[in-house]
Amino acid sequence: MTSFIGAERDQISFMPHDLNEWLPEDHLARFVVDIVGKMDLCQVYSSYSGKGSTPYDPKLLLSLIFYGYSTGVFSSRKTETATYDSVAFRFIAGNHHPDHDTIASFRKRHLPELKGWFKEILLIGNELGLLKLGNIFIDGTKVQANASKHKAMSYKRMKQLEKQLECEIEQLMALGQQQDEKDEQSTDDIPDEIKRRKDRLTQIDTAKKVIEQHRKEAYQEEKAEFDKKQEARKKYENQTGKKPRGRAPKEPSTEPKSKDQYNFTDPQSRIMKTSKGFDQCYNAQIAVNDDMLIVGNYANAHHNDKQEFLPTIESVPDELEPQITSAVADTGYYSQQNIENCPQNITPIIAKSKEKHNSYIEQLLNPTNDKHKEIYRKRKHTVEPVFGIIKEVLGFRRFSFRGKDNIDNEWGLVCLSYNLKRMFNLKTA
């Protein structure tokens, strides 16, 4: 008869007394704790006043958050639960169980410091010999904002609703005056309804001003790009005596477009086209090396990637930039500005746009040769799988915070945590 190993749940000690016996020596949780132990957290420790109840060690909380994000646990409530249910989380917490409010408030309070921590951990990885540079591969993905697209309104709709609300206010005021003249008992709802509509008008007016300001800012960039293209076309015509091929660029306008939108939940997010349709999103960018380590990250609300090429390169720590030889990107990043303004030590290898550009711009691009083709082919095997891991394996598809700055910092946390797991895999390979 077959014998089985049963669960003796009445035993006095179910787990080993020594926490170090709980996990294998080569475990991601140990690696995260070791890396956090190497970080300079003097500024964090100095922020504690020493008054009140004894706080949890920042290294403990950071390790929990980093390990959580690197294994797909983003919620502070789930992190708290994991300190009871998961051996790895229990090991990191040292058998303590920080409340989810404690974890959430710590993360929120130190969110602005995450960019610096991303850089610090990357440099630690460099010291450990886990980071190799040369080529960097740039790409972006749309990540859902913490806001519903149904809370967005177009500039055209705002103007229509303004007129509607103003008309309704006039009607309500006339109704109230009519009741007063007839000495009828006035309904208490009328003042409340008028106030509600006036408050809505104030919100719409604020939203319109934001859209108008965005248009002014965008106009400056678009006008500069337009002037460059016009100058390039004139130069080409003067040199060749021929008119440039292709459609002439259209001069941008300072007036908001009717489809320009404002989201009342997260005003800085934008409706963007994704693989699953249109959604309220942010544009998250990364730069990775040949080993699929993220060396730079950046998040904004631009609809396309043309404006993200240079900021993503700039997000690479200054200490590492001299080691970069080329920046590789797809057709979405192809522009004269990106080619001309790329750092001198970095060769831009950007696929030419499907749209036919004038020959002057094409001359600026480095000649397409076999070496560049070989480097470009690596892009699909480096940067694109990273997004697959972050979204499909880890399950990060929606930001927790709101506002462009917070989003940029949270994306830094995501990239930092991904790097910890990737560095661990490289170390144990």
Task: State whether 232 and 301 are in the same domain.
Answer: no
Does 159 share its domain with 231? yes
- 173 in the same domain as 227: yes
**Does any domain span residue 164?**
yes
Domain presence at residue 102: yes
Which tens digit of pLDDT belongs to each residue from 304-355? 888 899 999 999 988 888 888 889 888 888 887 888 888 888 888 888 765 4
Q: Looking at the domain assignment, is residue 309 inside a domain?
A: yes
CATH number of 326's domain: 3.30.420
**What is the total count of domains within the chain?**
3
- β-strand 326-329 against 347-350: which pairing, if any? parallel
* Average pLDDT of the residues in 73-92: 93
Cα–Cα distance for residue pair 7/5, rounded to 1 Å? 7
Same domain flag for 365 and 272? yes
The predicted pLDDT at position 363 comes to 43
Residues 169 and 315 in one domain: no
Q: What is the CA radius of gyration of the chain?
A: 28
pLDDT recorded at residue 409:
93
Does any domain span residue 413? Answer: no
**Residue 165 to residues 154, 172, 189, 193, 198: CA-CA distances in angstroms?**
16, 10, 16, 11, 8
Cα 170 from chain centroid? 44
- Beta strands 326-329 and 135-144 are parallel
**What's this model's pTM, rounded to 2 decimal places?**
0.79
286 and 391 share one domain? yes
Q: Could you tell me the two tokens for 333? A: 């990043």
Domain range enclosing 204? 152-240
Let me know if residue 70 belongs to a domain.
yes
Residues 387, 359, single domain; the answer is yes
The answer on 306 and 168 residing in a single domain is no
**Do 271 and 396 lie in a common domain?**
yes
Within a domain: residue 205?
yes
Regarding whether 354 and 279 lie in a shared domain, the answer is yes
- pLDDT tens column, 164-223: 888 888 888 888 777 776 665 555 678 888 888 888 888 888 888 878 887 887 778 778
Inside any domain, residue 177: yes
- Please list the alpha-helical segments (H only) found in 182-308: 189-240
Specify whether 317 is located in the same domain as 198: no
